[in-house]
Chain A
């Protein structure tokens, strides 16, 4: 089966600019996650969707980050305006519906803020 697809792979922007990331989960996976991974740390959950509804966005900086999952499939994560501390790898993951289903990750987007 095809894995989680993410684009772009790399993005370089200046601070205060905006940026958007796209994710296509594994077919049939109802749950979609966006993570932020800062260098030297483990992934940190930003937002979790179940179909097209938000389950957990408690760690999403809502003043600058937004995410949507229209039609319960693809998802986009946007940062506007970007800050230097947003430099990180943004990972998308998906899992089947149900408890304790392993999450499958895409290869991520590496974001550099100048």
Chain B
């Protein structure tokens, strides 16, 4: 039972353009969502989070959008840079509960 799904295993984007990574979830009780970035041979690094009381959170080039009715969140990276090339995981939890991770999306930003 995959409660958090990232249906695109990979995404390729040109440097300077927008990267949009998508994530769907099935549990309507989830109220806290995060995105992590992972480079090879390193642990995941926290990127940005959003609470279910918001529909948008912005931090520099990174913006997360939450659509509760569609049970969908997305991460926008603008502008994309080659250093953004990594695996991106979305994760969700019910407050006080454990994080459930998606399978990850590999982003490649081409110079």
A107 to B34, CA, bound (A): 19
Contact with A along B40-63 (1 / 0, CB 8 A): 011111100101000000000000
Q: B103 touching A42 by the CB < 8 A rule? A: yes
B36, closest chain A residue (CB): A105
Tell me which of B51, B99, B103 contacts A103 (CB under 8 A): B99
A108 to B45, CA, bound (A): 12
Q: A45 touching B103 by the CB < 8 A rule? A: no
Q: A41 touching B42 by the CB < 8 A rule? A: no
Min CB gap B73→A, angstroms: 15
Q: B46 touching A102 by the CB < 8 A rule? A: yes
Task: State whether A42 and B95 are in contact (beta carbons under 8 Å apart), knowing that A4-B43, A103-B46, A107-B43 are contacts in the complex.
Answer: no
Is the interface on chain A under 10, 10 to 19, 20 to 34, or 35 or more residues? 20 to 34
* B25 contacts A by Cβ under 8 Å: no
A9, closest chain B residue (CB): B41
Q: B44 touching A91 by the CB < 8 A rule? A: yes
Is the interface on chain B under 10, 10 to 19, 20 to 34, or 35 or more residues? 20 to 34
Tell me which of B32, B95, B99 contacts A45 (CB under 8 A): B99
Min CB gap A47→B, angstroms: 10
Tell me which of A43, A104, A108 contacts B101 (CB under 8 A): A43
Q: Determine which residue in A42, A93, A104, A106 has the highest number of CB atoms from chain B within 10 A of its CB, and name it.
A: A42
The interface of chain B, by Cβ under 8 A from chain A, is: 4, 32, 34, 36, 41-46, 49, 51, 89, 91, 93, 95-96, 98-99, 101-104
A/B interface sample: 30 pairs, CB < 8 A: A40-B103, A40-B104, A41-B103, A41-B104, A42-B101, A42-B103, A43-B44, A43-B101, A45-B98, A45-B99, A48-B98, A91-B43, A99-B95, A99-B96, A100-B49, A100-B51, A100-B95, A102-B34, A102-B49, A103-B46, A103-B99, A104-B46, A105-B36, A105-B43, A105-B44, A105-B45, A106-B43, A107-B42, A107-B43, A108-B43
